Structure 1
């Protein structure tokens, strides 16, 4: 007897016990396996069987641009990842599976937002009617080109966010949110929202609090928590966090969360993120050798109460490996991201390297060398965290029977 002689029920029992990466790859074995593994019943069975032992591996995707023009094209296409996922542990990845790379006149792809295990990318054709947004899964290499936004092609003074949602795994639903300013003195802003449920864009007019109705700008990538999007912005009275709920309907309202008082007027290099479903902020303050790493956590989301979790002097931390130069002496030391599950871990930029910092153990570990030559300086470096569930999210809506 061969394996294909088994009935569907027994074959499903076998396939649901495979690691996720092998189950996904098994779709290519034959049409029967493709049909079985793509069926929602199989996916629910797989999730039910695997969820008890699944640790939700974390991937940090970073995209950067160099000062030197020789690297401009490569840097715009290249991704570096720090990953706990067995498939994505390779240090270099490309977005070549997106259709824009098949065009002879390639445009740089820029990652704009992430949530769960999905990312939003843009082909960077600024002010062009042909520019496109893509939602993609880096693990499965699935992608979806979003339809054109009706009647509007403004690309500056805006922010992009992504919210994945669903009652049970796997996630099939998401919203892409594009925020446009109406003017420096406007009391409203426009939210253009693409829904995977409808496959269309809709528009909402959002009321802004009085304290941010003058000149302001988004300072960070979107952070998704509680099905809402969070950005650090410049307000009239210093910097603050703006919260937008894409499920609030046509006429919604923005909420503000004040940062810790110490950061109110010093958020140029502050990291905003989440850990264990809590909002966090972190920064590195001072000059070498007395730089301090500080981490705050929002203990009460409704009341906006912050608590200082860590205050650590970087010179007291120890590198687990030896290097020829002291990366802590450089002024480019920044907090890049939090680990979504481990509250003791943050990721730092130390010159041109990504460093894993364990605040409880007091250790620093270089996990990604962006450039082998430390004399080059990276102009910008943006990171996007991904959390992989036990079955990868689909970029296409589930077909309702």
Structure 2
């Protein structure tokens, strides 16, 4: 816990584009794998983020909604929800199954990261006592927060090592974990090739504004034994593997 707010053009220009060569739409999307495409341009005429192939082999958006046909529900989903903080979005998932699916979608997360950029707060933890869980110091308690600021949804006790755009990198007894405290989603990373130690020099890199599939990197500076050099071991979420 997808592009800038979509600026719908006037209905006539959109209608003309709908009947033009469908290949014109294809330049507006950029494949990222998994059947999902990121928005490569920000002057889009549609709210589409998936494409299908027509009989003539050309690509076209799955979803096209003209402004005249948009309902209040469509306006709220596309032009209001992206401006809300994560805490409010989590409550709105209970509105309906449709809203739950939309709020959980990577496209909304991508939009929300571009439009709502207020700092939520800071995670604080005493590193001299790893048994103490982290604490969220919220800057706006009434509107912003997370369901489990102590990260008790993780399977083990952890210490927070790094954060990036709403994701946390944590270290357990023998593994790294990347989690989203707003949604309580988490992933245990595979073991690295080198021993990183109990106090590693490591950082998480995640930029959701240009990354609809939520790919991230973990970069660790690892000293080489008996050598005055440091190598960098990088975890890539696309391949779920470490490399030097």
TM class by shorter-chain length? 0.5 to 0.7
Structure 1, unaligned stretches of length 5 or more? 1-6, 67-71, 101-107, 126-130, 204-401
Residue 141 (1) aligns with residue 184 (2): yes
1:355-374 paired onto structure 2 within 5 Å: none
1:95 and 1:40 map into 2 onto residues whose CA distance is 22
Name the residue aligned to 1:99.
155
Change (3 A) 1:30 1:39: same
Deviation per CA, 1:9-42, whole angstroms, max 9, x where unpaired? 6423223424333223323444322222333454
Conserved? CA contact 2:160–2:170, under 8 Å: yes
Conserved? CA contact 2:169–2:177, under 8 Å: yes
Match of 2:164 among 90, 107, 115: 115
Residue 174 (1) aligns with residue 216 (2): yes
Match of 1:27 among 61, 74, 93: 93
Name the residue aligned to 1:84.
139
Conserved? CA contact 2:165–2:207, under 8 Å: no
Using the size of structure 1 for normalisation, the TM-score is 0.36
Conserved? CA contact 1:63–1:76, under 8 Å: no
1:221-300 paired onto structure 2 within 5 Å: none
Name the residue aligned to 1:13.
75
Counterpart secondary structure, 1:24: helix
Using the TM superposition, give the Cα deviation of residue 98 of structure 1 relative to its aligned residue in structure 2, in angstroms: 0.4
Match of 1:192 among 208, 211, 233: 233
Name the residue aligned to 1:208.
none
Using the TM superposition, give the Cα deviation of residue 133 of structure 1 relative to its aligned residue in structure 2, in angstroms: 0.6
1:94 and 1:112 map into 2 onto residues whose CA distance is 14
Name the residue aligned to 1:163.
205
1:120 and 1:114 map into 2 onto residues whose CA distance is 6
1:149 and 1:88 map into 2 onto residues whose CA distance is 32
Counterpart secondary structure, 1:99: coil
Using the TM superposition, give the Cα deviation of residue 196 of structure 1 relative to its aligned residue in structure 2, in angstroms: 1.7
Which has more helix, going by share of residues?
2
Conserved? CA contact 2:134–2:159, under 8 Å: no
2:117 and 2:191 map into 1 onto residues whose CA distance is 37
In the TM superposition, structure 1's runs of 4+ consecutive aligned residues that sit over 4 Å from their partners are 7-10, 40-48
Conserved? CA contact 1:26–1:34, under 8 Å: yes
Using the TM superposition, give the Cα deviation of residue 63 of structure 1 relative to its aligned residue in structure 2, in angstroms: 0.6
Instruction: Give the CA RMSD over aligned residues.
Output: 3.4
Structure 2, unaligned stretches of length 5 or more? 1-68
Q: Specify the structure having the higher radius of gyration (Cα).
A: 1
Which has more strand, going by share of residues?
1
State the number of aligned residues. 170
Deviation per CA, 1:350-382, whole angstroms, max 9, x where unpaired? xxxxxxxxxxxxxxxxxxxxxxxxxxxxxxxxx
Using the size of structure 2 for normalisation, the TM-score is 0.56
Using the TM superposition, give the Cα deviation of residue 194 of structure 1 relative to its aligned residue in structure 2, in angstroms: 0.8
Using the TM superposition, give the Cα deviation of residue 55 of structure 1 relative to its aligned residue in structure 2, in angstroms: 4.9
Using the TM superposition, give the Cα deviation of residue 170 of structure 1 relative to its aligned residue in structure 2, in angstroms: 6.5
